[in-house]
A and B are shown apart, each in its own frame.
Chain A
């Protein structure tokens, strides 16, 4: 039996391919949106994974340091060592900054202040693509590649100038801002030390200048054999601090910090899938209307409905499959042009494929309905 769908498609191949490309680009955007969501999840966990701590100790009754502001004393990292379960500790200071990049633009970055001589370091050596980590207590900085700096460049932050000593890649904060790394002392000065004018003003008001030896959190790794939940509970009761395990911290980031953003993207994705389905349905409906005379002739000369329905459904599925192929090509061509991380997973693509095939079959009902309703007598004039 002649494959009517194949014959019809090849008869107007250019038009069919352009239509599939159009739908494919729309579906490609859906894949990108899913990729943006996946990227957000990975970005949210990048810093946590690079630090690799078992426990996060933050200001009591807060969800710090990423979801809420948190301040704890730096020396907590030493007193924690008294706990028999604690192996290594480190203090970190985090804050958002605006820096001027070589192109002259001001860019928002997320700074990670750490003790370069400490026990836990936040720079993953696999991500350090040029130069070295910080080796001095002051005026050295490691930056993300996307900022456009090279080693040896100078960056002014606050009152001081910092020398770029290392370049990293794929290092971003939970909000997707590029990371810069500073020594803890520099980060504390930037965050907690007031300007000279402010200090003088405070003194004249009788306010004594406060210590800048504050940090946003202390992280700790545990010795082998100790249960993280029990250790967290123990420190929580002992130090009157909020203590989160690595899993709890990830949950805070994915549930509290990026939840609304991910829901927003989810909504966009759902709307785009619905719009794509409606567009496919309209295309199939229009394609059927264009053939309604031929369909009437087919019915008149005795072709059964199943032959006509088969033609419409096969054309719809071909359109869906071709659009899916174009969607993948399109999304893979443009995904790395986005400023934030976009992760395209085969699983997501196959899930979209399932949705598109289901939507295509559902959409073909419009065309099938029109074909079934086509009056064979309309083929005859007079």
Chain B
């Protein structure tokens, strides 16, 4: 079961790649919860399954078994997706941030930011207002008509975060968003994500290898021996 504050909830989630001799067990009975307004870091050694977990939560990769809730909606129930249009869930409920900015190179800053809201069907005044609000927030409004190739790495990453927020998502999945940034910019991005978590009441999971970013998070999800261990500021829980 889940309460009204649930942002992301995962219950007994397993993922097995391949079969027989080629079988690779990545996750086994992983369970955790990230509430709305919570900022969680996902840490684990390379190859432990961080991105796999992120993709399953993001409705991109099918789990082998278990359950996933996004907000109040159960999206995966043991063997199958409970919804037909996964991309609709992604564009309406989830914001993605990646290690590189992965902006569409032939679209300007504002077009990149408004792409998903336009696809959802927002009217022009709404998505334009939202985009300008976000670009102002990230101090890149003056670059709205620039192509990504004309911006610095840090500016592009801010545009990518603005894009992830433009559809007013309930959940943000960030895959090493600070990996390509220097320490100062990385801290700024993480602070920004923390601020968004509070202000917009979203649940964020951020994959990171950088332990210096962990103090800014509310909880730490660590993958150890194919299980997810939730660590909070005052206690450590093995589920």
Interface of A toward B, CB cutoff 8 Å: 1-2, 4, 7-8, 10-12, 293-294, 297-304, 307, 376-377, 379-382
Contact = CB atoms under 8 A, between A and B. Distances in A.
A379 B90 CA distance: 14
B202 to A, nearest CB: 16
A381 B106 CA distance: 22
- Residue among A294, A298, A301 with the highest chain B CB neighbour number at 10 A: A301
A7 B102 contact: no
B147 A301 contact: no
- Residue among A11, A302, A379 with the highest chain B CB neighbour number at 10 A: A302
Given A2-B111, A381-B99, A300 B147 contact: no
B115 A303 contact: yes
Contact of A294 (B50, B104, B114): B104
Q: What does DSSP make chain A's interface, helix, strand, loop or mixed? A: helix
Interface residues of B, number: 35
Given A1-B118, A303-B116, A381-B99, 6 more contacts: A2-B118, A301-B91, A302-B116, A377-B55, A381-B98, A382-B51
Contacts of A12: 106
Given A7-B106, A382-B51, A377 B87 contact: no
A379 B54 CA distance: 13
B22 to A, nearest CB: 19
A1 B119 CA distance: 7
B40 interface: no
Contacts of B89: 302
A302 B88 contact: yes
Interface of B: 46, 50-51, 54-55, 58, 60-61, 87-92, 94, 96, 98-100, 102, 104-107, 111, 114-116, 118-119, 147, 163, 175-176, 207
Nearest to B93: A302
12 contacts: A4-B107, A7-B107, A10-B106, A11-B106, A293-B102, A301-B115, A302-B90, A302-B92, A302-B119, A381-B51, A381-B98, A381-B100
Contact of A379 (B88, B102, B119): B102
Given A2-B115, A300-B60, A376-B60, A381 B176 contact: yes
B50 A382 contact: yes
